[in-house]
Amino acid sequence: MRTPIVIANWKMNGGLAANANLVSGLKKQLVGQQATTIVICPPAPYLAQVEQLIESSNIQLGAQNASEYSVGAYTGEVSLKMLQEFGVQYVIIGHSERRVIFKETDQQVAEKCKAVVAGGLVPVICIGESLEERQQGNAQIVIKKQLQALSLEELRGSFIIAYEPIWAIGTGETASPEQAQEMHEFIRFQLRELLAERADSVKVLYGGSVKSDNAGQLFAMPDIDGGLVGGASLQAEEFFAICRAAGN
Ligand SMILES: O=C(CO)COP(=O)(O)O
């Protein structure tokens, strides 16, 4: 049995006042709600603030990125050790925005995953095809290649996979529950090929325009273990409704 998990990816949104409002709104709703693991990934400068805001709640802390290097002359980078000091437990790695806009390569993504696991944290590894790749009928080929490039069999710790079709991110166009399930089933099959029975404990999340009105149907699918939520995680009520849908 894989406990459902819902992860808020705030991306480059927020501010001191807005964060305080959002987290306190969420905490009010979460009283007594425990069936789902809930993680918030704020921008790095707000990790210390959010660490304090979520104190004495069931909410956990995540980061949106981490350096593959451990220390030294790497301007602008944030190391795993630094993230650990703020109570970070999860790190989103290889988000398509980092792959596409910041040109992170498969190899870099694999190195970052290794660094996260070596640091004792859990990488939330994003994979997903573009619209063009889907239209050409290559979605599964792309996913298989991305999974193989991660050298998952070498990771000595737990990790999460997030399937985020690029065409569904921030577009309001969600993959249908059937489309998502088909890809998740394929991902689970690939994980079994790579990891044998170890694959059964790996959570596979769906991301891409998850909202309160589609979350229930998506999370009801047998191979979807929760969600990675962007825009809808910026509103307390909306995000809470998504978390509740995961626990049902
Ligand atoms: O990229 C995402 C989460 O990492 C999805 O973003 P949206 O939920 O805004 O589509």
pLDDT digits 0-9 by tens, 53-75: 999 899 999 999 999 999 999 99
d(CA 231, ligand 1 centre) in Å = 6
Residue 187 scores a pLDDT above 90: yes
CB 59 within 8 A of CB 48: no
Determine the pLDDT at residue 170: 86
Residue 180 scores a pLDDT above 80: yes
Domains (ranges, CATH) in the chain?
5-68+76-247 (3.20.20.70)
- Helix 177-195 to helix 212-219 angle, to the nearest 10 degrees? 50
Residue 15 annotated as binding site: no
**Residue 135 dihedral angles phi and psi, to the nearest 5°:** -65, -30
Pocket test for ligand 1, best of 5, 6, 11, 213 (most atoms within 8 A of CB): 11
Residue 44 scores a pLDDT above 80: yes
Residue 248 scores a pLDDT above 90: no
Pocket test for ligand 1, best of 161, 167, 228, 234 (most atoms within 8 A of CB): 228
Residue 247 annotated as binding site: no
Any idea which residue has 């009010």 for tokens?
A: 28
* DSSP secondary structure, 68-123, as one string: SS-SSS-TT---HHHHHHTTEEEEEES-HHHHHTS---HHHHHHHHHHHHHTT-EE
Determine the pLDDT at residue 52: 98
pLDDT in tens, 120-135: 999 999 999 999 999 9
Determine the pLDDT at residue 33: 62
Q: Which residues of 175-184 are buried (b: 16+ CB within 10 A; e: fewer)?
A: bebeebbbbb
Residue 158 annotated as binding site: no
Average pLDDT rounded to a whole number, residues 163-183: 92
Amino acid letter for position 38: I
State pTM to two decimals. 0.97
Amino acid letter for position 138: N
Average pLDDT rounded to a whole number, residues 181-196: 97
The residue from 68, 95, 133, 184 that is catalytic is 95
Average pLDDT rounded to a whole number, residues 170-188: 93
Residue 150 scores a pLDDT above 80: yes
- With a CB cutoff of 8 Å and minimum separation 6, the contacts of 56 are none
Tell me the ipTM for this assembly.
0.99
pLDDT in tens, 74-88: 999 999 999 999 999
- With a CB cutoff of 8 Å and minimum separation 6, the contacts of 127 are 94, 143, 146, 147, 161, 162, 163, 164, 187
Determine the pLDDT at residue 216: 97
Average pLDDT rounded to a whole number, residues 215-236: 97
Question: How sure is the predictor about 229, in pLDDT bands with cuts at 50, 70 and 90?
Answer: very high
